[in-house]
């Protein structure tokens, strides 16, 4: 029944045909079970492990690599190769792909945990009325129509409509659904509100919520998937994970690169068709296979095999740095997504605020003999910790607050007229509450006021352990007074009272809504001398004004406190006794904003990031918070910037679009609204970060570009998120955004480094094949260069220092290419030089080297016809390992110099010197050491087809390698002026991109 909240109790009972005094019969239970099913969240079929593994290989570059590995292996077998040489290249490729697939499978497995952990919020048992008898049954056996009894501490087993109140009130903690810290009072009346949200359905008990006060009976109206918890599960299942901006750009670039590679491979093979019949190949077919092998080597050279591993490593390094900022990253790609975040949808309670109700103001009657009549005190401290000070209206700190009569009696009343518990949790190292947040706030106030006499000395309290300090003053008053009778809070009275006895004197303390308490008062307690005087009309008007100021302008939750001396020996109290009270004071409390939030909001504004506060709280309270934290900075009128969920839904589509572009505050929301907001913003090409802590936030967290859960939040929220804030602090998000931007900048640098290096390898093989030279580099040498000499420096580039103005720039556009037209031209130039330098080293050994054959250039480019004609040199000279060793060494060294070019995209090495990144220098040193090892250690030199080089050969290598720095310095110079930046071309037209990836 979806509209049970709008129907009367009798209508709901009649709809299910149940007698509230007897419950369902066994026959009705069986029939309803057939109709509605079991009270469990269905187990969703998870993706089979083998399918997850296969999904990791659904990438064009990966498929080309797999094909290259298989072809390489088959060609080795055709050529008669056996042992390690036949398996080395394909084995290394498959090992890399397997490692990347493992990371992907682990990430997907974590994402599915959210659905499993949602079950933890279902109740285990329920007290059910059936066949006229109450019994305790497994909650899974409940069916719609069952009459269930709930009490304090009970977890609600299903969605239920209240039918009978068994106590003066019933309050339920709905935080997992609404995200709000305050419990909700429930009643029997039907709800008349249109488009009612969870907070409006005050007669419904929602599955998974917890009863914190009172007892009641209710009829089950929804089980399993047809509950509020079930709707959250369905929303999570409907949510499709979006690819991160970096993943989209890498996929786009990979597709472009794959097409270029395929074209070049085919071109090399076709260009050399005329050489297929050369005698050196031993026939047309063998010639075709030979050049096909060159094409495969070209594919291996062009594809940056180490790119996925290096990206993963760089992101992992970023997660460690972010962990130190209290941002625990669960999904590696989300590190980079932070860098282009344009909107942060932040939960209010617990993220922008402390989620700890605390008293911030106290109003007492100072004196009626001289003005002003009332006096306000400010109370510091924004947590449940008994730490804070009290200041008077002049801003002077009260050294001994308990010396003031009204503050002393406020402390007495707050400690005694209270049913909550404040305690220190040594495991969490913080103070925990049990009970209502407002009552706990009063307990903390008692500790801040202290005790009269010596016990109030700060030194006496500070030497206590945290466990003793938590409730030291409260326990003092509880020992001084003996509680005799409690008159519980009720909705009609809006107050509670407690009768206490001390030294043969009975006193009744009361607390409640100011409008209820003040109307019952006939006297007031004066703070100046502790006297009790009649409450005049003027004083009453003054108190009303202070109450309106607290509740209106300051949006504080207000409570009034009072006392009454009772006849000696009285043992009970009733409602009639709650008259002729003496007013003690007025306290105003709120869930205070975190101290760091205001500066964090301003940082977001300067970084071009918009913050939208999303809350289930009422509009007035939320607007007051936004004023405090600076979200409404420079705004006098909030019209067009603040909307409730119902107000937003009533807007026409065009106005909704405009509202989304200006919105700062979104109130009275429930789970579906949060997810709707994320989707609407994403449709406007915004990159959205969503924060949350409750079960209700999980669908929106999963849908957002980056979901950020609170460390104190539910397991469901954490599992659905990409990042968890260990300190629940909004300021940590801003620090993480800065780190995400720096990580992206470094990621771009090493991607460009690897691209330019691989372009050099392609140029080397392509030019050599076109000119008809012998194989410049064999595939295993290319693999070594790509994995080791490319991988180590590329990873070290991830340690480039963060720019000082990283949070002053606007967020980059999602459509911004990883490699733009001008940059691609730059790296074509660099790559062309790398390739030509590598070939030059090869040619130098054959033509000019004293240790080489000093062949004419003509002989070198016609080496394949050597067996068919007379020559002055043996044809075996073309199998010498020296020329390929020189080429490979030139390639390695020139790439090391190129790594130094990537310390900055446009800044000269004279401005950002090499030692600014010691990790890069260390990686270059290690790379060169590894290269020297394979040159001079015998088994390895045989494996990689290399040989030791002489000093002269090393000198030539350095001469050929160093100019790459000079070339890039010239290109950087052009990049720093407007002409260089205007020059460009694109891989594809912007209008051919998907709509969500175009420029905003």
Q: Is residue 71 part of a domain?
A: yes
Give residues with Cβ within 8 angstroms of 630, minimum separation 6. 598, 601, 602
C-alpha span between 941 and 948 (Å, rounded): 8
Most confident region among 90-94, 358-362, 978-982 by mean pLDDT: 358-362
Residues 408 and 340 in one domain: no
pLDDT for the residue numbered 107: 45
Are the C-beta atoms of residues 521 and 535 closer than 8 Å to each other? yes
Which of 146, 347, 376, 697 does the annotation list as catalytic? 347
The domain in which residue 434 lies consists of 364-371+380-530+561-566
Q: Is residue 297 part of a domain?
A: no
- Which range has the worst mean pLDDT, 77-91, 104-118, 726-740, 873-887? 104-118
Number of domains in the chain: 4
- Which range has the worst mean pLDDT, 87-91, 593-597, 783-787, 959-963? 87-91
- Which range has the worst mean pLDDT, 439-443, 560-564, 621-625? 621-625
Q: Which strands sit side by side in the sheet containing 723-725, from one edge to the other?
A: 327-329, 723-725, 706-710, 688-692, 343-347, 610-614, 665-667, 642-644
Assign 3-class secondary structure to 309-372: HHHHHHHHHHHHHHHCCCEEECCCHHHHHHHHCCEEEEEHHHHHECCCCEEEEEEEECCCCCCC
Per-residue pLDDT at 276 exceeds 90: no
Query: Can you name the residues that pair with 329 across neighbouring β-strands?
Result: 723
C-alpha distances in angstroms, 402 versus 114, 189, 398, 413, 473?
50, 44, 9, 13, 11
Are the C-beta atoms of residues 193 and 161 closer than 8 Å to each other? no
- Which range has the worst mean pLDDT, 235-239, 618-622, 763-767? 235-239
Per-residue pLDDT at 766 exceeds 70: yes
More confident residue, 883 or 427: 883
Q: Please state the length of the chain.
A: 1000
**Which of 156, 146, 151 has the alpha carbon at shortest distance from 208?**
156
pLDDT for the residue numbered 149: 92
pLDDT for the residue numbered 297: 65
For this structure, is 879 an active site residue?
A: no
Average pLDDT score over residue span 209-213? 81
Residues 103 and 199 in one domain: yes
DSSP state of 91: H
Burial 121-146 (b: 16+ CB within 10 A, else e): bbbeebbbbbeeeeeebebbbbbbbb
C-alpha span between 405 and 375 (Å, rounded): 13
Residue keyed to tokens 């019952």: 520
**Which of 591, 184, 621 has the alpha carbon at shortest distance from 351?**
591
Q: Is residue 394 part of a domain?
A: yes
**Which of 303, 365, 361, 369 has the alpha carbon at shortest distance from 93?**
303
C-alpha distances in angstroms, 549 versus 77, 546, 787, 894?
88, 5, 69, 73
pLDDT for the residue numbered 306: 56
Residues 761 and 717 in one domain: no
Return the half-sphere exposure (C-beta side, CA atoms, 13 A cut-off) of residue 241: 17
Q: Is residue 300 part of a domain?
A: no
Residues 433 and 331 in one domain: no
How many other β-carbons are positioned within 10 Å of the β-carbon of residue 976? Answer: 12
More confident residue, 799 or 172: 172
Residues 841 and 697 in one domain: no
Per-residue pLDDT at 593 exceeds 70: yes
Per-residue pLDDT at 874 exceeds 70: yes
Residues 895 and 786 in one domain: yes
- Which range has the worst mean pLDDT, 197-201, 279-283, 898-902? 279-283
pLDDT-derived band at 941 (thresholds 50, 70, 90) equals confident
Q: Which two tokens stand for residue 478?
A: 């509880």
Are the C-beta atoms of residues 443 and 589 closer than 8 Å to each other? no
Tens of pLDDT, residues 384-425: 888 889 999 888 998 889 989 999 999 999 999 998 888 888
Distance of CA 105 to the CA centre of its chain: 20
CATH of the domain at 767: 1.20.1110.10
State the DSSP H helix or E strand holding residue 709, giving kind and residue range, or none if neither: strand 706-710
- Of 238, 271, 299, the position where a domain reaches its end is 238
Residue keyed to tokens 């100019």: 963
Per-residue pLDDT at 864 exceeds 50: yes
Residue keyed to tokens 């009453």: 540
State the DSSP H helix or E strand holding residue 126, giving kind and residue range, or none if neither: strand 125-130
Average pLDDT of the residues of the chain: 80
Query: Can you name the residues that pair with 374 across neighbouring β-strands?
Result: 365
Residues 708 and 751 in one domain: no
How many other β-carbons are positioned within 10 Å of the β-carbon of residue 112? Answer: 14
pLDDT-derived band at 45 (thresholds 50, 70, 90) equals low
Collapsing DSSP to helix, strand or coil, 564 comes out as strand
Per-residue pLDDT at 523 exceeds 80: yes
More confident residue, 267 or 423: 423
C-alpha distances in angstroms, 573 versus 372, 506, 567?
36, 11, 11
Residues 709 and 787 in one domain: no
- Which range has the worst mean pLDDT, 551-565, 589-603, 861-875? 861-875
Residue keyed to tokens 């967290």: 701
More confident residue, 305 or 695: 695
Residue keyed to tokens 């209502």: 436
Characterize the bridge pairing of strands 204-205 and 159-165: antiparallel
Average pLDDT score over residue span 325-333? 72
- Which range has the worst mean pLDDT, 31-35, 97-101, 503-507, 559-563? 97-101
C-alpha span between 436 and 694 (Å, rounded): 18
CATH of the domain at 144: 2.70.150.10
Give residues with Cβ within 8 angstroms of 171, minimum separation 6. 183, 184, 185, 186, 211, 212, 213, 214, 436
Most confident region among 771-785, 800-814, 935-949 by mean pLDDT: 935-949
Are the C-beta atoms of residues 203 and 216 closer than 8 Å to each other? no
CATH of the domain at 476: 3.40.1110.10
Are the C-beta atoms of residues 438 and 559 closer than 8 Å to each other? yes
Residues 743 and 721 in one domain: no
Residues 340 and 482 in one domain: no
- Of 675, 703, 728, the position where a domain reaches its end is 728
Tens of pLDDT, residues 463-487: 788 888 889 999 999 999 999 999 9
pLDDT for the residue numbered 803: 62
> What are the φ and ψ backbone dihedral angles of 995, each rounded to 5 degrees?
-55, -40
Q: Is residue 761 part of a domain?
A: yes
Residues 509 and 461 in one domain: yes
Average pLDDT score over residue span 810-836? 79
Most confident region among 326-330, 616-620, 870-874 by mean pLDDT: 616-620
Tens of pLDDT, residues 362-381: 999 988 777 678 899 999 98
Collapsing DSSP to helix, strand or coil, 804 comes out as coil
pTM, two decimals, is 0.61
Per-residue pLDDT at 194 exceeds 70: no
Q: Is residue 280 part of a domain?
A: no
Residues 870 and 931 in one domain: yes
Rounded to 5°, angle at Cα 741 from 738 and 744:
150
Q: Is residue 654 part of a domain?
A: yes
> What are the φ and ψ backbone dihedral angles of 675, each rounded to 5 degrees?
-65, -40
More confident residue, 810 or 42: 810
pLDDT for the residue numbered 987: 36
C-alpha span between 72 and 883 (Å, rounded): 23
Per-residue pLDDT at 242 exceeds 70: no
- Which range has the worst mean pLDDT, 212-221, 651-660, 764-773? 764-773
Q: Is residue 467 part of a domain?
A: yes
CATH of the domain at 646: 3.40.50.1000
Are the C-beta atoms of residues 964 and 901 closer than 8 Å to each other? yes
Per-residue pLDDT at 236 exceeds 70: no
DSSP state of 766: H
Per-residue pLDDT at 110 exceeds 50: no
More confident residue, 480 or 118: 480
pLDDT for the residue numbered 831: 87
Per-residue pLDDT at 857 exceeds 70: yes
How many other β-carbons are positioned within 10 Å of the β-carbon of residue 39? Answer: 29
Are the C-beta atoms of residues 379 and 585 closer than 8 Å to each other? no
- Of 728, 756, 788, the position where a domain reaches its end is 728
pLDDT-derived band at 284 (thresholds 50, 70, 90) equals confident
């Amino acid at each position: 029944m979806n509209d049970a909240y709008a129907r009367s109790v009798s209508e709901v009972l009649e709809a299910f045909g149940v007698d509230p005094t007897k419950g369902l019969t066994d026959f009705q239970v069986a029939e309803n079970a057939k109709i509605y099913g079991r009270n469990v969240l269905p187990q969703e079929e998870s993706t089979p492990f083998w399918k997850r593994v296969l999904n990791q290989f659904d990438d064009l570059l990966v498929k080309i690599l797999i094909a290259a590995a298989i072809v390489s292996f088959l060609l080795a077998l055709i050529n008669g190769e056996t042992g390690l040489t036949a398996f080395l290249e394909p084995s290394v490729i498959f090992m890399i792909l397997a490692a990347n697939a493992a990371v992907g499978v682990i990430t997907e497995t974590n994402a599915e945990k959210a659905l499993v952990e949602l079950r933890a919020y279902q109740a285990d048992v329920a007290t059910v009325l059936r066949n006229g008898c109450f019994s305790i049954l497994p909650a899974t056996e409940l069916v719609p129509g069952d009459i269930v009894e709930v009490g304090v501490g009970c977890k609600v087993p299903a969605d239920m409509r209240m039918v009978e109140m068994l106590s003066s009130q019933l309050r339920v903690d709905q935080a997992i659904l609404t995200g709000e810290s305050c419990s909700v009072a429930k009643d029997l009346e039907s709800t008349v509100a249109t488009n009612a949200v969870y907070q409006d359905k005050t007669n419904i008990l929602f599955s998974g919520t917890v009863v914190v006060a009172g007892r009641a009976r209710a009829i089950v109206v929804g089980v399993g998937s047809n509950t509020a918890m079930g709707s959250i599960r369905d929303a999570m299942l409907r949510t499709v994970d979006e690819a991160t901006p970096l993943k989209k750009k890498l996929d786009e670039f990979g597709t472009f690169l794959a097409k270029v590679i395929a074209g070049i491979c085919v071109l090399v093979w076709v260009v050399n068709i005329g050489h297929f019949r050369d005698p050196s190949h031993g026939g047309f077919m063998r010639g075709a296979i030979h050049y096909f092998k060159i094409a495969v080597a070209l594919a291996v050279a062009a594809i940056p095999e180490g790119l996925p591993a290096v990206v993963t490593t760089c992101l992992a390094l970023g997660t460690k740095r972010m962990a130190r900022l209290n941002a625990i990253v669960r999904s590696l790609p989300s590190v980079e997504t932070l860098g282009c975040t344009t909107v942060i949808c932040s939960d209010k309670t617990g993220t922008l605020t402390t989620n700890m109700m605390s008293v911030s103001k106290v109003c007492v009657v100072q004196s009626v003999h001289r003005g002003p009549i009332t006096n306000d005190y400010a109370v510091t401290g924004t947590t449940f910790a008994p730490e804070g000070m009290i200041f008077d209206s002049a801003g002077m700190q009260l050294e001994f607050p308990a010396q003031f009569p009204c503050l002393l009696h406020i402390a007495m009343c707050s400690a005694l007229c209270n049913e909550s518990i404040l305690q220190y949790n040594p495991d969490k190292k913080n103070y925990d509450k049990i009970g209502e947040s407002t009552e706990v706030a009063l307990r903390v106030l008692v500790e801040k006021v202290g005790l009269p006499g010596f016990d109030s000395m700060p030194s006496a309290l500070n030497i206590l352990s945290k466990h003793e300090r938590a409730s030291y003053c409260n326990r003092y008053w509880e020992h001084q007074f003996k509680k005799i009778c409690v008159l519980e809070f009720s909705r009609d009275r809006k107050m509670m009272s407690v009768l206490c006895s001390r030294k043969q004197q009975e006193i009744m303390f009361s607390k409640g809504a100011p409008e209820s308490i003040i109307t019952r008062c006939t006297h007031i307690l004066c703070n100046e001398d502790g006297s009790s005087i009649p409450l005049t009309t003027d004083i009453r008007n003054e108190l009303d004004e202070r109450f309106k100021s607290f509740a209106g302008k300051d949006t504080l939750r207000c409570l009034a406190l009072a006392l009454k001396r009772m006849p000696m020996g009285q043992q009970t109290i009733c409602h009639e006794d709650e008259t002729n009270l003496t007013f003690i004071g007025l306290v105003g409390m709120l869930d205070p904003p975190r101290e760091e939030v205001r500066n964090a909001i301003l940082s977001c504004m300067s970084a071009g990031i918009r913050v939208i506060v999303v809350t289930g709280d009422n509009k007035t309270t939320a607007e007051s918070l936004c004023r405090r934290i600076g979200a409404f900075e420079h705004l006098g009128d909030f019209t067009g910037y603040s909307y409730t969920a119902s107000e937003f839904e009533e807007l026409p589509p065009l106005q909704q679009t405009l509202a989304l572009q200006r919105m700062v505050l979104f109130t009275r929301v429930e789970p579906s609204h949060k997810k709707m907001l994320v989707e609407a913003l994403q449709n406007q090409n915004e990159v959205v970060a969503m924060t949350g802590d409750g079960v209700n936030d999980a669908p929106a967290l999963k849908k957002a570009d980056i979901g950020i859960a609170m460390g104190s939040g539910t397991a469901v929220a954490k599992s659905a998120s990409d990042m968890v804030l260990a300190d629940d602090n909004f300021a940590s998000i801003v620090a993480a955004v800065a780190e995400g931007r720096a990580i992206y900048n470094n990621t771009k640098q090493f991607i460009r480094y690897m691209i330019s290096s691989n372009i050099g390898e392609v140029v080397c093989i392509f030019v050599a094949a076109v000119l008809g030279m012998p194989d410049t580099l064999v595939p295993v040498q290319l693999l070594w260069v790509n994995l080791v000499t490319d991988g180590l420096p590329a990873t070290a580039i991830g340690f480039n220092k963060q720019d000082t103005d990283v949070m002053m720039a606007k967020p980059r556009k999602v459509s911004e290419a990883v490699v733009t037209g001008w940059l691609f031209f730059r790296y074509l130039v660099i790559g062309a030089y790398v390739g030509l330098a590598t070939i030059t080293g090869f040619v130098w050994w054959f033509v000019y080297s004293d240790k080489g054959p000093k062949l004419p250039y003509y002989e070198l480019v016609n080496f394949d016809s050597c067996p068919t004609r007379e020559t002055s040199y043996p044809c075996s000279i073309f199998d010498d390992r020296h020329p390929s060793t020189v080429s490979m060494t030139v390639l390695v060294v020139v790439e090391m110099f190129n790594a130094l070019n990537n310390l900055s995209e446009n800044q000269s090495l004279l401005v950002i010197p090499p030692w600014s990144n010691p990790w890069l220098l260390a990686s270059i040193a290690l790379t060169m050491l590894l290269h020297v090892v394979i040159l001079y250690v015998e088994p390895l030199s045989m494996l990689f087809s290399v040989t030791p080089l002489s000093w002269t050969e090393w000198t030539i290598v350095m001469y050929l390698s160093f100019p790459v720095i000079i070339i890039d310095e010239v290109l950087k110079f052009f990049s720093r002026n407007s002409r260089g930046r205007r020059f460009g071309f694109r891989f594809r037209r912007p209008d051919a991109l998907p709509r969500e990836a175009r420029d905003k």
